[in-house]
Structure 1
């Protein structure tokens, strides 16, 4: 197969496959995405016998990971033409995408899976879940706060209201997208094409916001963010006021939130939602790009195996000093820890503790090696809420 980045004249091909696999052309999100967000240079296309067989969008993002900013590609819209399915082109497309991301200096990347089981054999692991909450509107009453006030966001110019809340919410989190003015404007425009945005204020200070849609019976919120508990209660008060327009509320929020423990009926409507996978694009680049705890000192020999990227299969010595890492290939040394590349991604993102990974047979190593890995890669509260 031949792979190349899209050109402006490929737009109709790209749009046609998106419309076939995802939203139709008349859908508001489709209209917004291809008029405001789409950039052909971020679309990788695969051709077989001169015909387009598959493509994926490599949207650039910056992640705040372990306190540092890391350039990242977010794979969305991965699609295969029906005539080319079940022929292995998906694997070839992912390998080609890894090569392109490595060329761009994006040494880790993220992907939201429709089915995680498809991607896990290729080195992708879930680093971020969310809570998916569903409650009858009447059940919200004891969780509300009537001392706040509300406002609509109806223009991208109002982005600072949301940005201040988002920054407060993510202050102690990791793995989330860094949003600047341009990305905020993009998020707001996309949401207003399909629904509404409400902001909660305490006096003149914004303390919470949500993106939401009103459906038949169910009000849904895809982004539910708050700086304080009062802000969260204010959002629930706002939704409670919609009892004439719906019967239940469904919202997503970070899995680090534990206020579900204090819901009147925590047995109902509380479930986890697998949200985002992470992957290492280049072992050396990734381990030298991320930050380490200042007190972490030492070195470790790691052996990894990658089913798609042969440059990641081998033995690497990681040396950490003063919060930075350096990596060299060292095929002659015996590894201290052995793991697939997907496990290494979970360590880098801080999604799991080395001892838990070892228990789940995702890595092997001595107790000393596990302790060193835990010092280099302490667990983090992971969060992200980007949908495209």
Structure 2
């Protein structure tokens, strides 16, 4: 028997487990409440899984942290849980504790009317077996500053009197919210940010705070970037973790800003969504090294509730969908989805046949827009009785640009 519960007191144990899992090279960590319980470190809710029969061993078997968030999915805001810091010390591994921790976490999310769970995996195969799957890819471009000189040349035509770059502090977060709203409208599963998140996750870092600079045109913020400068003199990299723009000229301006650091840094690293056209507009794309990696993973918490609270295209549909979910019994079964006037109702049904059959991970990707029904069928992750069912599903859940870039 196990007991899943909050961790109010054993915060030193939580810190020890997390450090061993993600930073073992640092050795045995010293727990300092003043350092590790600041505003950034205190965000989220700690949870632990305890063995109720082991009275002589009160330590949790594994731990995690839940961030209570909201994200934008198909034009609407939905409650989303960020799952992080899943850690098990070596003496308790390979006993199924993480599986139980994940199942209990999803049950808690369901009790809180959370629609989606998002996590950054240490290994994709591990979490895919429990129903999470990839939300988006992350593109990282790296080059010498000179490779971005084309942007500076393009910006020379705009007029220096109309543009400005301003360094922002945490108190200025509201100045870039309008630009970020453009990002929210563009990308599915993008995170809605409140003041606390802006102050302690965007403007604050784990070991050091990043720089945040806004680009203004005619007195209005049209873009910004969040970055650090890493390395020693002679081998420095300007590393951009977030680049947000409202239009093409703003993209050129921020790339020019990076180019202007050519006297300080030897490399520029840009972490951006797939559709940001850095290579397409570069004069010398062969001077840019580009790497594409998988980003976070997403999972629907409750199929019936989530599909009943989405917005849909203005068309009528009636589909039976068989969902396979080995971790939650409330999702493992067949559902009837009825859509009319842009709203849907999804309920479990007893049926021997279904129009669509797929796993919870594939359904999660379909719902947030990361994969189309056609692609899921083509890759063998969705089975349909006929092409009409796939066409209906494609209309209800059109593929969209997705990007969840916040880390936790």
TM-score range with shorter-chain normalisation? over 0.9
**SS at structure 2 position matched to 1:223:** strand
1:330 aligns with 2:333: no
Take 2:97 and 2:219, find their aligned partners in 1: how far apart are those partners? 54
CA–CA distance in 2 between the matches of 1:32 and 1:305?
A: 44
TM-score, L = length of structure 1:
0.93
User: Structure 1 pair 262/33, CA: closer, same or farther in 2 (3 Å)?
Assistant: farther
Q: How does 1:245-260 map to 2 (within 5 A)?
A: 245-260=264-279
Whether 2:378 is the aligned partner of 1:359: answer: yes
Residue pairs, 1:56-205, within 5 angstroms: 56-144=64-152, 145-146=155-156, 147=160, 148-153=163-168, 155-191=169-205, 193-205=208-220
Against the structure 1 CA distance between its residues 63 and 13, is the aligned structure 2 distance closer, same or farther, given a 3 Å change threshold? same
Q: Is residue 291 from structure 1 mapped to residue 311 from structure 2 by the alignment?
A: yes
Contact 2:370 2:401 (C-alpha < 8 Å) held by counterparts: yes
CA shift, 1:305, in A, is 0.7
2:7/2:48 contact within 8 Å kept: no
Q: Is the 8 A contact 2:320 2:354 kept in 1?
A: yes
Q: CA deviation at 1:107?
A: 2.7
Residues 94-139 of structure 1: CA deviation (Å, up to 9, x unaligned): 1111111111111321111122122112111101112111111111
Distance 1:26 1:333 in 2: 58
Query: How do 1:27-38 residues align onto structure 2 when only pairs under 5 Å count?
Result: 34-38=37-41
Q: How big is each residue's C-alpha offset from its partner over 1:300-340, in whole Å with a ceiling of 9 and x where there is no partner?
A: 00001112112211111111112221122222341001111
Output one character per residue of 1:145-199: Cα deviation in whole Å (capped at 9) or x when no partner. 254321111x321012221211123323221111233322223442494321111
Whether contact under 8 Å (2:140, 2:270) holds in the other structure is: yes
Preserved contact between residue 40 and residue 201 of structure 2 (Cα < 8 Å)? no
8 Å contact 2:227–2:239 — kept in the other structure? yes
DSSP-derived class of the 1:310 partner? coil
| Pairing 1:14–2:29 present | no
Structure 1 residue 26 displacement after superposition: 8.0
Q: Say whether residues 1:44 and 2:47 are aligned partners.
A: yes
Q: CA deviation at 1:39?
A: 5.0
Q: Aligned with 2:262: secondary structure? A: coil
SS of residue matched to 1:64:
strand
| 2:284 paired with 1:281 | no
Aligned counterparts of 2:42 and 2:352: Cα–Cα separation in 1: 45
Q: Distance in 2 between matches of 1:44 and 1:325?
A: 34
* Structure-2 residue corresponding to 1:378: 398
Aligned partners of 1:132 and 1:253 also within 8 Å: yes
Q: Which runs of 5+ in 2 are unaligned?
A: none
Residue number in structure 1 paired with 2:222: 207
Contact 1:32 1:190 in 2 (8 A): no
Query: Alpha-carbon deviation of 1:358?
Result: 0.3
Taking the aligned partners of 2:254 and 2:36, their CA distance within structure 1 comes to: 28
Structure 1 runs, 4 residues or longer, greater than 6 Å off: 24-28, 30-33
Distance of 2:113 and 2:77 partners within structure 1:
13
For the residue of structure 2 that corresponds to 1:190, the secondary structure is coil
Distance 1:232 1:263 in 2: 12
RMSD: 2.3
Q: Is the 8 A contact 2:75 2:185 kept in 1?
A: no
TM-score by length of 2: 0.88
Q: Is the alpha carbon distance of 1:118 and 1:190 closer, same or farther for their aligned partners in structure 2, counting shifts above 3 Å?
A: same
User: How many residues matched?
Assistant: 385
Aligned residue for 1:311, secondary structure, equals coil
Find the aligned partners of 1:177 and 1:31 in 2 and give their Cα distance: 29
Partner Cα distance (2:34, 2:265) in 1: 28
Contact 1:72 1:108 in 2 (8 A): yes
